[in-house]
A and B are shown apart, each in its own frame.
Chain A
Amino acid sequence: MNARDPETGKLPPLLLLHPEDNILVARRDIAAGERIEIDGETLTIPAPVELGHKLARRALAIDTRVLKYGAPIGSMKTAVARGEHVHLHNLRSDYIPSITRDGPEH
């Protein structure tokens, strides 16, 4: 998933950091509606995803432990489909709630 496209020479827009990960990281800003391949399936990205943000590699059920770098980084608060943005609105810390300028997330 991290090798250049043999035809276009382009780097893929999503990074897989560890084979066991269930999320992918945006290598660049991705626009809503872009067609992107994830594990052999080409799908339409539903909402814009900025550089450094995460997308679901596969459908994730509520309470699924999310793996990045092969390590747990929290649990899903809601279920998401493959290709959806994974962030504060659907992922929570298993340690200490994250804070935004509006206060702690729960």
Chain B
Amino acid sequence: MNAPVMQGFPRKDGRKGIRNVVAVAYLVECAHHVSRLIVQKSGFDDVHLIGFPGCYPNKYALEMMKRLCTHPNVGAVLLVSLGCESFNREELRRTVAASGRPVDLLVIQQSGGTTRTLNAGLDIVKKMRAQLAQQTTVPMALNELVVGTVCGGSDGTSGITANPAVGRCFDWLIENDAACIFEETGELIGCERIMASRAITPELGREIEACVDKAANYYRIMGYGSFAPGNAEGGLTTLEEKSMGAYSKSGSSKISGLIKPGDVPPRGGLYLLDVVPDGEPRFGFPNISDNAEIVELIACGSHLILFTTGRGSVVGSAISPVIKVCANPDTYERMADDMDVNAGRILHGAELDDVGREIYQLVQSVAAGSPTKSEALGHQEFILTYKQFEPIGPACLPAA
């Protein structure tokens, strides 16, 4: 199989981007509309809107915004502040500047309101895009790629078709030293012992079991597991049944580490992302929707996301392309315009390996620049809310 040659935009930290977007970031909800106007009126698909809505400080949100604004797929950043919010805009600006990226900051209260900020923002974005157009790409290998996976709108077909097909793709990526991340520990409840047995050290195995226990405890206090009515309509009955299906996205490689949102895998291998906050529940559900999970995978450096769905999701994301792998052949018939891969054909006799290989090829062609369905349709969903985390323990990333 002749894979397309991947080209990346080299960054100062040594990573490479498969896209070169201008991120326009609002630093409080009060700056959201002005930021959205800048993105919309710029008229370019490669200008993406991200941001944090809260006015109160949150260490996690600041760290996430730093990771997102210095993500390899981001070439330049425009920060938009109202002016009175607590977000540490200067620290974020310094971090982006230190990464070697063009960065600018508009403070709406200082620049004179909506229209003046919009016009200033459009000028800045235009100049940034001109700068980015001068950048050249360099060859990029699979061992420089980080791929995340998430499932959304799972049903009784997900764990039979799309999820194990993504698992095969993950196995092949990892054989080529790519870093692959799977997640939602709250959707892996019931799989903790099997996962622990795949850890590269017994100590990491214990950390994995503990983080799933933490997730089960957290969801129990919240009163709901990560189980939506649509999951049941699609044939799933229990959280642990959904978990077993979700788990198969991880493939069969050894688990090299347990990371938290914003931690970038240090080398190739398979990583579990612990998305459930530490401590007692304080800010609500761990991730309030699929895009919150996607944003965390991207903050961990994911260049692209493999999104499996049975019921049928349409979302994409800001910053990193989303490849939609449809598990259910009936859903695929209804929503083919939104789906990149028809994994449901496995139920009609196709081989799992063939679908896995199609996903593996698609990862490389999307990394080489081909747009995904959600990208072409303009999906750039983004959500970031309050959370709290302690740093990972020493056993979570054993030396290779």
Contacts and interface: CB of A to CB of B under 8 A. Distances in A.
Interface of A: 4, 11, 15, 17, 25-28, 50-54, 68-69, 71-74, 86-88, 91-101, 104
B225 to A, nearest CB: 4
A94 B235 contact: no
Given A95-B216, A98-B237, A11 B328 contact: no
B239 A53 contact: no
Quick one: which of A15, A25, A72, A95 has the most chain B CB within 10 A?
Answer: A95
B160 interface: yes
Nearest to A89: B237
20 contacts: A11-B348, A15-B347, A25-B160, A25-B235, A50-B235, A51-B157, A52-B157, A52-B235, A71-B191, A72-B190, A73-B190, A73-B237, A73-B240, A73-B241, A74-B241, A88-B232, A92-B238, A93-B240, A95-B225, A98-B239
A54 B232 contact: no
A77 B43 CA distance: 57
B330 interface: yes
B60 interface: no
Contacts of B191: 71
B349 interface: yes
Interface string B218-252: 01100111011101101111111100110010000
A26 to B, nearest CB: 7
Contacts of A88: 232, 237
Contacts of A68: 241, 244
Closest 5 pairs between A and B when the two form their complex, measured CB to CB: A52-B156, A52-B235, A96-B225, A73-B241, A53-B235
Quick one: which of A52, A54, A86, A98 has the most chain B CB within 10 A?
Answer: A52
Nearest to B194: A71
Interface of B: 155-157, 159-160, 189-191, 194, 216, 219-220, 223-225, 227-229, 231-232, 234-241, 244-245, 248, 310, 328-330, 347-349
A28 B329 CA distance: 9
B138 to A, nearest CB: 43
Contacts of B231: 98
Contact of A25 (B156, B189, B348): B156
Contacts of A53: 156, 235
A69 B245 CA distance: 8
B349 A11 contact: yes
A86 B232 CA distance: 11
B156 A91 contact: no
Contacts of A27: 347
Contacts of A96: 189, 216, 219-220, 224-225, 227, 239
A100 B229 contact: yes
Contact of A52 (B239, B244, B310): B310
Contacts of A26: 156, 235
Contacts of B223: 104
A89 B54 CA distance: 42
Contacts of A28: 347
